[in-house]
Structure 1
Amino acid sequence: MSSLIIIPARMASTRLPGKPLADIAGAPMIVHVARRASESEAGDVAVATDSMEVAVAVQKAGFTAIMTRTDHQSGSDRIFEALGSLDPDGRFERIINLQGDLPTIAPEDIRAVAGPLSDPQVDIATLGVEIRDEAEKTNPNVVKIVGAPLDSDSSRLRALYFTRATAPWGDGPLYHHVGIYAYRRAALQRFVSLPPSVLETRERLEQLRALEAGMRIDAQIVASVPLGVDTPEDLERARQRLALKTDT
């Protein structure tokens, strides 16, 4: 199946305003994310943004940028609008929603996220990482996947729930959810047409909207959590990591 990677990017971040254009090792953060997507060879790459500044920076780096409305409530809504402009004829069957604040993500993890869609019963795919740090198990900012291992694939979970609580109870691994998604095109269209759900609103996790509507989400388990850039401290860590990569 052909894939399209769309990276939503907006300038109005409350904790780190203008973060898509934050300089990291001589390039804007959004360009680093587009490079990781291109290196993954998982599909064509485009950035969906509400900022002309971001679009210009992306295009200057040789990538496609699509202007979208400023009033979108989520990245999923933004990428769906961009999809209509990029692919009105429906050539792409899988859409990967890659967050624009993951400049150090491993390209192989971007490639891995679409793996569960090889199962025709799966509507949406995402990533998970086993939690090794005890403090993360009780941290509400670390979203956990409550999932059932598949007999046919020990590296994949069928997601039953996502929560900020410590779950599931009892002995056994806990899994950190990495918020990257691969959608079947029809699943993305259905998802953005649904109103916010009760559990989504309560947990502040939009993927629960899909589960409440009976859609199936599977999580591919990968080795490490990518660094998400939400604060000035995160930005400095990303600069240090990519400076080391550039030096080597």
Structure 2
Amino acid sequence: AEGPLPGDAYAAPRPAAPFAELARRAPGRLRIGLLTALPDGPETHPECAEAARAAALLCERLGHHVAETTAPYRPDDVGRTSGVLMGADLVAQIDARLALLGRPLADDDIEPFTRVLYDTYRALTAADVSRALRRAQEIGWRVGAAFAAYDVLLTPTLARPTPRLGVLDTADPESVHRHASDYSAFTSVHNVTGMPAMSVPFGHDGAGLPLGVQFAAPLGGEGTLLALASQLEGAAPWGSPPGL
């Protein structure tokens, strides 16, 4: 079943049809905003930016209108907000599990990086969470306003190509803390706003590892994304040179 459950406090618009059916529909001519850089964010690796631009060219060939635009959010602002909200939920879930088990947290219960987050966010206050919820809504308003001009936003999925093993190892909290936000700069905003986004495979980096591009839509826009994904898959099946 799709759509909200009875009594849901928050709900996106109900889909016009089952997702499988929406994926078979033509997306129509979409207005697509292209983003390859973020204000005061990590520098986008050229290969990741080029994948997004190649996807934009393909979208134009498919009849969509593409225009470059600027990001309506700052990644550091998003990171602080999502950190509080996700950290508060992490603490609540772990504490609930420990209450069910009837014992304190053991050293080997969770991964080292998760333990750092748990110890950090246990000190949150109700006011901290309230401020983060308010800021998340403000970010959502800013991102939502961008969809007055565009049906879809197109970005690289990650700002960096695939890292070497160990760079994002949760057994090394310092490395994760130092690098993770550079990779997630384009994606984490949708965790905060709840707006749907999808990653589409699109080409490879210089090492032969896959790259992706991200398409995002306003609340309730899953059908648009699924229809576009199906169209892109038909035009450039995974494994073919991008843009062909």
TM over 0.5: no
Query: Could you tell me the TM-score, scaled by structure 1's length?
Result: 0.25
**Structure with the larger helix share:** 2
Higher relative contact order (CA 8 A, sep 6+): 2
Greater C-alpha Rg = 2
TM-score (norm 2): 0.25
Structure with greater proportional strand content: 1
